[in-house]
Amino acid sequence: MRFPWEDVFGFARWIWAVRRPQRYYVGMNPYNPPRRLVERSTDGPQHCSAVRTSTAAPHWLSCVARLAFCYPCLLIGAFYGTWGLAWLVLGHRPRPSLDDPTEIAHVVSIIYFITGGLLVTFPGVGILGVVAYLLAPATSPARRVTRSVTMIVWYAATIMFLRWDPLVVSKWFLD
């Protein structure tokens, strides 16, 4: 039996998963860590004085790319969260041109400005995510390009969803 939170934690583990080189401690057991950490190499015996450096992109780059992939969901959630909070405060659905989000309540206006900040930074985060996917360590260049194209399509779908606006939330927000 699977519980609902298992998927959430699995998704969080997937986001923060980082590919790091395998490392081991030279000349000591894992319960008594040494002063120096050396990466595993297959090109001969390891010595404590020889530390192999990695030429791969930094591991945080893949984390940035995965977080940028989740940014459209955050933006849409912020739009509908602001709208739902305004509905809760007003007692009825917020109407475009009648219920201004900055004048409903202070809580709604604070969330409104946070959502506006997310909306303004949306294109920059998308570009940053595509660049991070292109530079992040992956198994092959084809996979990097596939992830970048997926990111572009995901951001375009978010823009199309906000333009479609099934509950008139974007029109109310940007009015």
pLDDT tens for residues 129-162?
999 988 877 668 888 889 899 999 999 999 999 9
Q: Is the dihedral of CA 57, 22, 13, 142 positive or negative?
A: positive
Give the model's confidence band at 6: pLDDT under 50 very low, under 70 low, under 90 confident, else very high. Answer: low
Is the pLDDT higher at 26 or at 71? 71
Condensed to tens digits (0 to 9), the pLDDT of residues 7-62 reads: 555 555 555 554 444 444 455 555 555 555 445 545 544 444 444 444 455 678 88
Gap between the Cα atoms of 148 and 132, Å rounded: 9
Q: Which of 18-22, 56-60, 101-105, 168-172 has the lowest mean pLDDT?
A: 18-22
Domain boundaries, given as residue ranges, for the chain:
19-55, 60-174
Q: Number of H helices and number of E strands within the chain?
A: 5, 2
Q: Which region holds residue 75: left if phi is over 0, alpha if psi is between -120 and 50, else beta?
A: alpha
Does residue 172 contact residue 99 with C-beta atoms inside 8 Å?
Answer: yes
